[in-house]
Amino acid sequence: MTASASSTRVRGETILDVNHVVKHFPITQGVLFQKKVGAVKAVDGVSFQLRRGETLGIVGESGCGKSTLARLLMRLEKPTAGRATLAGQDLFAASGGELRRIRRNMQMVMQDPYTSLNPRMTVGDIIGEPFEIHPEAAPKGSRQRRVQELLDVVGLNPEHINRYPHQFSGGQRQRIGIARALALRPEVIVCDEPVSALDVSIQAQVINLLEELQDELGLSYIFIAHDLSVVRHISDRVAVMYLGRIVEIGTEDEIYDRATHPYTQALLSAAPVPDPDARDHRTIIRLRGDVPSPADPPSGCHFRTRCWKAQEICAIQDPQAVLRAADPHPSACHFAELRPTAT
């Protein structure tokens, strides 16, 4: 019934293939006669594959391009270069009706539950809007029932269909956003920081919900977050981004236990651990300074200006994310090695 019949779903095969995607935002001057004076290299050549039924976590600090990457995949921004296919269809070339059909297969859950729902629409209208845009997804008579089912699926009271977003708490609104994303039965859901605006006790509820939905509906997630613990909890594989590039990608174990890129190691060491006993025998790698501006990233390895291992070659040669001897997973560092104290 949907664009992708469930019979064709095979776990493990690649559903989303992203190839060297680039997004440069031009920096311009002038209003009517614009002059390009530079470019913010928000996403600078990102490649990865997402397999059916898996969760790919993307971590990185603010400005690393992870949210821009999500917006590119959702076609909210036009890529400067690169290719991406979703279930074999070219994501970036599609337009008009074809793009609309592709959109049915990939949806996004946004970060801010307060601005992602139109305050002047009822919950029923918000979750029902996908059916209005895609009338073929549900016959008119069944729409209200479908909306109520969706409310139920995400753990909200189906009778609250006529309420407005402001009558719900942050966690409940995020569930509404999830219901809207589920409405068209997509195979891929991009979650852009879906729990970072929520209180600790509510975060766990939403994470559990996302995991349950994945098990039951066979969803594939791209899970973008800055919270390393949350990403580890939910992800099968993890990509670490720095200044528009993926510096290291691997299974959850490979990244969290056997990271070989110095940035990943620093990031992990700096993450606060909720255990006061760990205070004394924890060594935090202290990075120098701040993330450089993406409008003017360092030559060669983008991380070299803050890296304690940096040598001359780092400024000259751009390290590729290839398998490294230290541990066989892609790591974009000339001097990739396991952290001596890593457990």
Give residues 240-299 in contact with other proteins (rule: CB under 8 A).
252-253, 256, 266-268, 270-279, 284, 286-287, 289-291
Alpha-carbon separation of residue 216 from 1, 3, 30, 220 (angstroms) = 18, 18, 52, 11
Residues ≥6 apart with Cβ < 8 Å to 237: 54, 55, 56, 57, 249, 250, 251, 252
Site track 94-133 with other proteins (rule: CB under 8 A), x = hit: -----xx--xx--xx-xxx--xxxxxxxx-xx---xx--x
DSSP, res 54: -
Instruction: State the nearest-atom distance from the C-beta of 195 to other proteins, in Å.
Output: 10
Answer whether 48's CB lies under 8 Å from 20's CB: no
Joined together, the tokens standing for residue 207 give 């994470």
Q: Torsion angle, CA of 129/131/132/136, rounded to 10 degrees?
A: 160
| Separation between Cα atoms, residue 53 and residue 268, nearest integer Å | 26
Q: Which is nearer to other proteins, 38 or 322 (CB)?
A: 38
What residues numbered 314-343 form the site for other proteins, per CB under 8 A?
343
What residues numbered 133-162 form the site for other proteins, per CB under 8 A?
133-134, 144-145, 148-153, 155-159, 161-162
What residues numbered 3-62 form the site for other proteins, per CB under 8 A?
6, 31-32, 61-62
Answer whether 47's CB lies under 8 Å from 20's CB: yes
Q: Which is nearer to other proteins, 286 or 340 (CB)?
A: 286
- For position 166 contacting other proteins by CB under 8 A, the verdict is yes
Q: Torsion angle, CA of 330/243/191/74, rounded to 10 degrees?
A: -100
Select from 66, 180, 258, 324 the one that contacts other proteins (CB under 8 A).
180
Residues ≥6 apart with Cβ < 8 Å to 175: 154, 155, 156, 206, 209
Instruction: State the nearest-atom distance from the C-beta of 44 to other proteins, in Å.
Output: 19
- For position 216 contacting other proteins by CB under 8 A, the verdict is yes
Answer whether 68's CB lies under 8 Å from 206's CB: no
Instruction: State the nearest-atom distance from the C-beta of 340 to other proteins, in Å.
Output: 18
User: Total number of residues binding other proteins (CB under 8 A)?
Assistant: 102
Answer whether 254's CB lies under 8 Å from 329's CB: yes
- For position 309 contacting other proteins by CB under 8 A, the verdict is no
Select from 65, 171, 194, 330 the one that contacts other proteins (CB under 8 A).
171
Site track 55-84 with other proteins (rule: CB under 8 A), x = hit: ------xx--------x--xxx--------
Select from 226, 315, 337, 338 the one that contacts other proteins (CB under 8 A).
226
